[in-house]
Structure 1
Amino acid sequence: MQNAPPVGDTAAASPPLADRRVLARAISRLERGEAQADQLIGQLGGKPGRAHIVGITGAPGAGKSTLVHALLGALLELGQRIAVVAVDPSSPLTGGAVLGDRVRMGEHGSHPDVFIRSVASRGHLGGLSAQTRGIVDLLDAAGFDTVIVETVGAGQSEVEILQVADSRIVACPPGLGDHIQSIKAGILEIADVLVVSKADLPGADPTARDLRDMLHLRAAGAPGAWQVPVLGVSAVDGKGLPELLAALDGHRSACGRGRRLQTDPQAGPAAALLSRLLARDPLAKNLGITLRDGGAGHATVALTIRADHLNFNGTCHGGVTFALADTAFGLASNSHGVIAAGIDAHITYQQAARAGETVLARAVEVSRSRKLAVYRVDLTRDGDGAVLCSFTGTVYVTSRPLEGGGENASD
């Protein structure tokens, strides 16, 4: 993978920006489920893979939007063209969202080199919306140098930004203190850069020290691997912004761009393994579950809802929905060729499926260690992409091979 041009030296290599109205309409079509991102990219005159995707996540009130605002100003001074995707939480009662992140970025919103799009999470778990990745692909293809993705206020398990961003900033406000212990197994561990936001406030230095101590507990990386810095940044006086820009540039140079677009070299054999595993699952066969695609660490299965899948209310039975999600979870977690045993699962239901509708369940590996792996499964309606439910699960990873000695794999 080729590295991006140095920060501040992008103008000569940058393609022209797509027409903003065309871009806005394309994103709206994607959000409404009228088309897929790859069908819309051709309208924008480019292709994804050039932009540096920067994810910013952290707990509610950590100052993420203010940090984005400060970054916008700093990147504009370097001559960059920047797009922002700000994900806001949806109301559990009305389904609407305030989309208030734009208020904090208003100063730069009218700049010709800035494009800000607020989107509602619409009940989607993980810190993003169901269409965030597609929107990022469109903005990448439109010719922006940097695309910043701001998640909703995130907790321990909202780590979907891992699948989208090239460089991930986790913002931690001063006074995080003992809370570091409770969330270090979640979003803190996906950070490429740890930022103590609001660094002009009391308590910033002790928080930075706690974060550095937490990093010492991480397993040592390979020689030459990226070392996560802990930086204090104040959007009020600009403290730490040059260091943050330098860290992002260093991480991009070290780790590259477009990682979300890379094809897993193991996808071929892994997909064949998933087909064999599904063929050995009598429940999936009886329900009519089929494999759409899969590879190492991910799997997508489909089910067209039949009359015998319905409950007494005439909608898809929750047990059938769970079985579909659990099938995707089991396939993805066993896709590496060793038996993975499910030890924990949670599911939330947003909408019901009805007879005749086809439901897709896509499982994606969020994290994997030597003994444990975490997966997220999103169930959407085929056609309009409406989110029906979300599922998270954890497996214990064994050393026993699935085939040639491991016939009773657990999902």
Structure 2
Amino acid sequence: MEVLDLDHAGLVAGVLDGDRRAIARMLTLFDDASPGSREAAGSLAAHAGRALVVGITGVPGAGKSTLVNALLGAWLERGHKVAILAIDPSSPISGGAVLGDRIRMGEHGSHPNAFIRSFSARGELGGLSRATRAAVDCFDAAGFDRVIVETVGAGQSETAITAMADTRVVLCPPGLGDGIQAIKAGILEIADVLAVSKADLPRAGETAHELREMLTLRRANPDQAWKTRVMLVSAPEMKGIAELIEAVEEHGRVNGHGRRLKSPALDIRQGHGTLENSGDADVWRERLSALTERDGLCATLGISVVAGGPGRAEVAMTVDARHMNFNGGCHGGTIFALADAAFGLASNSHGALASGIDAHITFQVGVRPGDRLIARAYEYSRSKRIGVYRTEVLRIEKENKETPVSAFTGTVYIKQ
């Protein structure tokens, strides 16, 4: 790891002393992925692990920001130091955060024990920004004992908060109805607490009942100390907020703090580069190659395994005439297939069969015949039922320079 220069070392020292200006500058460093950000993040992570990190997620319009504001005020009244990291949708014009969350939480913004910061998702899938983990570590190292991470409006596949938060609160608006069935395989599965918002509305109680019924259908895990709870809340009236805080605090005592520090999640500190293997490299390559040999599409497209490990895979392909579309460019489906191959190998590398339930891909640059493409898949998070994987497709240039081609995020349901 590179050594921090004097400016960044001073900034880290300021964060550890709780200096608000140093914290603000450090967060900007992370958000912009500026030179030295990875080294600074690693230094701060060594001082993290004390804060209770609470993830607030849910569908758009559920009232996440209003709930976060209520939790912030209640925790401040109890004497806690509270940091808020709100992940906003990206502005289509500037690419920055829309800042709607900070407007809603303005009443507590001047409190000396509160720190509110918005990050733009910057097109990242999964509900978080790529720099989220480094920012959470920054708040933790600075002495905030409660850190709330609010995701963008989430659906079935936006489960990246699983690996980030110690306690996950999924907020559900009244009247979900059949929507519960539609999203239960994803975001509802990650909840430690299911909170039904807008408790004053007529269908709130009915929604809470449906959620409790859904929980009874889950297979019981005798080793699990915590049982998911369903609660009714109304943030504007502070109804149910004290009970929600007690549930979150109790979950923190049962399951502990620092989940993200034990996770292999890809973040700003890991950067890019050749995928490293765990254990015997040849054994992993042979194991994953055996899977690709059974895949007719991989054989047809010329996709081969380069490297792998638990929850990781790297595959390669050289673009030729069979990959081109009618406009003379590389077919987008070919790039998707390359990314999907890495995703499939990484998600099945543990031995348990994982079945894909959702995938998203974005494209950055075009590809030409003769280009060498590498797809690297990393395990972002994995629970007993849900796994989230991030795949980057890169074009290998001269002197092994890598140019991003596309980004792929996939979610799998893990069959026991």
TM-score (norm 1): 0.77
2:194 and 2:23 mapped to 1: Cα distance? 32
User: Is residue 364–residue 376 contact of structure 1 (8 Å, CA) maintained in 2?
Assistant: yes
Aligned residues: 375
Q: Is the 8 A contact 2:156 2:183 kept in 1?
A: yes
Matched with 1:169 is 169
Counterpart position of 2:254: 254
Alignment correspondent of 1:349: 362
Name the counterpart of 1:104.
Answer: 104
Structure 1 residues 304 and 215, CA gap change in structure 2 (3 angstroms)? same
Contact 1:270 1:336 in 2 (8 A): no
SS in 1 for 2:180: helix
From 362, 367, 370, the counterpart of 2:378: 362
8 Å contact kept, 1:17–1:144: no
Deviation at 1:19, TM superposition (A): 2.2
Do the aligned residues in 1 keep the contact of 2:302 with 2:318 (CA within 8 Å)? no
1:238 aligns with 2:252: no
Contact 2:365 / 2:404 at 8 angstroms: preserved in 1?
no
- Residue of structure 2 equivalent to 1:335: 349
1:390 paired residue among 389, 396, 408: 408
Q: 1:387 deviation in Å?
A: 8.9
> Which of 291, 297, 312 does residue 299 from structure 1 map onto?
312
For residues 54 and 362 of structure 1, the distance between their equivalents in structure 2, rounded to whole angstroms, comes to 24
Q: Which moved more, 1:38-47 or 1:106-115?
A: 38-47
1:149-193 Cα offsets, whole Å, 9 max, x none, are 101111122111112111000111222233222222221121101
2:287 maps to 277
Distance 1:345 1:357 in 2: 23
What is the deviation of 1:29?
A: 2.1
Secondary structure of residue in 1 paired with 2:75: helix
Q: What root-mean-square deviation, in Å, do the aligned CA atoms of Structure 1 and Structure 2 show? A: 3.8
Q: Deviations over 1:342-380 (max 9, x none)?
A: 6666342242267799875434354554xxx65432427
- 3-state DSSP of counterpart to 1:143: coil
Distance 1:36 1:239, change over 3 A: farther
2:285·2:306 contact (CA, 8 Å) conserved in 1?
no
Change (3 A) 1:45 1:318: closer
1:219 corresponds in structure 2 to 219
* Structure 1 pair 322–100 and aligned structure 2 pair: CA distance change class (3 A): same
Quote the residue 1:113 is aligned against: 113
Distance of aligned partners of 1:59 and 1:275 in 2 relative to their CA distance in 1, 3 Å threshold: same
Gaps of 5+ in 1: 1-14, 399-411
Find the counterpart in structure 1 of residue 273 from structure 2: none
Answer whether contact 1:125 1:158 (CA < 8 A) is retained: yes
What residue is the counterpart of 1:90 in the other structure?
A: 90
Q: Where does residue 137 of structure 1 map in the other structure?
A: 137
State the partner residue of 2:270.
none
Report deviation, 1:314: 9.8
Q: Which moved more, 1:92-101 or 1:273-282?
A: 273-282
SS in 2 for 1:53: strand
Cα separation, 2, equivalents of 1:240 and 1:341: 38
Q: What residue identity is the alignment partner of 1:82? A: V
1:122 offset after TM fit, Å?
Answer: 1.8
AA matched with 1:362: Y
Letter of the aligned partner of 1:211 in structure 2? L
Query: Mean alpha-carbon deviation: is it higher for 23-32 or for 314-323?
Result: 314-323
**Alpha-carbon separation, structure 1, partners of 2:251 and 2:280:** 30
Specify the SS of the correspondent of 1:274: helix
Tell me what 1:405 maps to: none
Report SS of the residue matched to 2:83. strand
Contact 1:361/1:379 (<8 A) preserved: yes
2:76 match: 76
Q: Which amino acid aligns with 1:18?
A: G
How far apart are residue 102 of structure 1 and its match? 0.5
Contact 2:160 2:381 in 1 (8 A): no
Gaps of 5+ in 2: 1-14, 265-276, 396-400
Please state how far the C-alpha of 1:89 moved relative to its aligned partner: 1.3
Range moving further from structure 2, 163-172 or 123-132:
123-132
Q: Deviations over 1:15-71 (max 9, x none)?
A: 965322222222222222235765114665962211111000011111100100011
The match for 1:148 is 148
Identical positions, percent: 48
Shift of 1:114: 1.3
Question: In structure 2, the residue corresponding to 1:23 is in which secondary structure?
Answer: helix
C-alpha distance 223-164 of structure 1, shift in aligned 2 (>3 A): closer
1:377 equivalent to 2:416? Answer no
Give the match's secondary structure for 2:336: helix
The answer to whether the 8 Å contact 1:353/1:359 transfers is no
